[in-house]
Amino acid sequence: MTISMHAASVPVFKQALGGLSGVLTKAAAHAEARKIDPSVLLTERLAPDMFALTRQVQIASDTAKGAVARLAGVAAPKWEDTESSFAELQERIGKTIAYIESIPAESIDGSEERDVTITLRSGDIHFKGQRYLLNWALPNFFFHVTTAYNLLRHDGVEIGKRDFLGAF
């Protein structure tokens, strides 16, 4: 049995973004119940040289929309990284899910051999579509979703694996 590029991307991103949304909902409730300034959680880092929670969510969003766009051969929308509240992060996740759902499956299916280039500060990295999705986009996406989860779990938000996994 084969799996399509669409099936290996959009539903996976959507489920994980849904889990991330649920985790953020619990984090906002945690802050409110304990009278914690939400900015304490939103600016939390695991280490001084790592991005804060807000940036982790932004990068997860960018990775999902960018991956789907690249696989479909279209330009991804560019969004300013100005979110500074749980509500704004939820809005961004909602926009990301709406965007990735708007790309027709037939635009992504068959992209296994599509040329994909990622531009980094150190230079360009070139992939074929399937290798890009499986070896770059999904691992990068889950790194940032997991880091966001870990930041909140470390700060005492009552979340677990089921929250991380989201609805399936």
Q: What is the pLDDT of residues 25-54, one digit of tens each?
A: 999 999 999 999 999 999 999 999 999 999
- Helix (H) or strand (E) holding 164, with range, is helix 161-165
**Average predicted confidence (pLDDT) for the chain:** 96
Please answer whether residues 43 and 128 qualify as being in contact, where contact means their C-beta atoms are separated by less than 8 angstroms. Answer: no
CA-based diameter of the chain, in Å? 52
Q: How far apart are CA 63 and CA 144, in angstroms?
A: 9
Please answer whether residues 44 and 53 qualify as being in contact, where contact means their C-beta atoms are separated by less than 8 angstroms. Answer: yes
Q: What percent of the chain has pLDDT over 70?
A: 99
Note the pLDDT tens digit of each residue in 107-137: 999 999 999 999 989 999 999 999 999 999 9
Q: Where are the domains of the chain?
A: 10-165
The model's confidence at residue 146, banded by pLDDT at 50, 70 and 90, is very high
pTM score, two decimals? 0.96
Q: How far apart are CA 125 and CA 133, in angstroms?
A: 13
What does the buried/exposed string (b/e) look like for 95-111 if buried means 16 or more CB atoms within 10 Å of the residue's CB? ebbebbeebeeebbbeb
Pairing of strands 123-128, 115-120: antiparallel
Fold of 10-165: Four Helix Bundle (Hemerythrin (Met), subunit A) (1.20.120)
- The pLDDT assigned to 1 comes to 65
